[in-house]
């Protein structure tokens, strides 16, 4: 079964009946204050929060991860890298928990690029709890935490970019495993409903 993407505008509240939401990476307005701090207030995020609270699958990649933390969908805050410099390199992610809708089709390790200025997870901040779902190598990146999933298991924040690891020409196609996992989870939900 194939999947289709539906582009959602930040100023609209309509999620257009999507089965899963991906809050992508990329810089957003106001990141000079704190990454994702302003984007969290976009009208579409009200609907994303409601969707997640009703059990919908939500993936936040890089800055999308930061926005999910700012929105309270994942606990914690992402602080500037220890080097205070932008980091851009391929990293290996050890998949710690392969029993989530986002990692169920993943091998034990994934190779994907990181591209961030703020990726040190201060896990004790904010509401709720989460469990580490992926750890990055080398250890100095992202405080060693590459991804977390909320306790309900339906919201996943990931610092490496799986969408940039989908073709051998980019150095890896491991990112496809994340998207295949989501598609399989959605297909399973549709069959049960």
Domain architecture of the chain: domains with CATH: 20-192 (3.40.50.880)
Q: How far apart are CA 116 and CA 164, in angstroms?
A: 14
The pLDDT assigned to 26 comes to 74
- Please report where in the chains the tokens 């100023």 appear, as a residue: 11
State yes or no: is 163 an active-site residue: yes
Catalytic residue among 62, 69, 106, 133: 62
Q: What is the mean pLDDT of residues 113-136?
A: 62
State yes or no: is 62 an active-site residue: yes
The pLDDT assigned to 132 comes to 67
pLDDT more than 70, % of the chain: 78
The pLDDT assigned to 78 comes to 72
Please, what's the largest Cα pairwise distance for the chain?
A: 48
pLDDT above 90: residue 60? yes
pTM for the structure as a whole: 0.87
3-state secondary structure of 65: helix
The whole-angstrom distance between residue 53's C-alpha and the CA centroid of its chain comes to 16
Query: Tokens standing for 26?
Result: 């990329």
pLDDT above 50: residue 45? yes
Catalytic residue among 70, 106, 161, 164: 161
Tell me which range, 50-54, 69-73, 129-133, is most confidently predicted by mean pLDDT: 50-54
- Please report where in the chains the tokens 């890896």 appear, as a residue: 172
Catalytic residue among 69, 106, 116, 163: 163
pLDDT bracket for residue 143 (50, 70, 90): low
Q: Cis check for the bond before 138: say yes or no (omega within 30 of 0).
A: yes
């Amino acid at each position: 079964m194939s999947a289709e993407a539906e582009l959602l505008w930040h100023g609209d509240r309509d999620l257009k009946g999507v089965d899963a939401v991906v809050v992508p990476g990329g810089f957003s307005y106001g990141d000079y204050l704190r990454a994702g701090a302003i984007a969290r207030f976009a009208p579409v995020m009200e609907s994303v929060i409601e969707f997640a609270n009703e059990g919908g699958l939500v993936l936040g990649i890089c800055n999308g991860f930061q926005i999910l933390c700012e929105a309270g969908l994942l606990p914690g805050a992402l602080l500037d890298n220890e080097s205070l410099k932008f980091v851009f390199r391929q990293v290996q992610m050890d998949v710690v928990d392969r029993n989530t809708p986002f990692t169920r089709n993943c091998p034990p390790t994934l190779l994907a690029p990181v591209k961030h200025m703020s990726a040190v997870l201060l896990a004790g901040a904010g509401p709720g709890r989460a469990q580490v779902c992926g750890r990055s190598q080398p250890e100095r990146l992202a405080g060693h935490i590459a991804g977390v999933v909320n306790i309900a298991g339906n919201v996943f924040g990931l610092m490496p970019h799986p969408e940039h690891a989908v073709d051998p020409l980019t150095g890896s196609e491991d990112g496809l495993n994340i998207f295949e996992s989501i598609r399989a989870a959605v297909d399973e939900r549709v069959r049960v409903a």
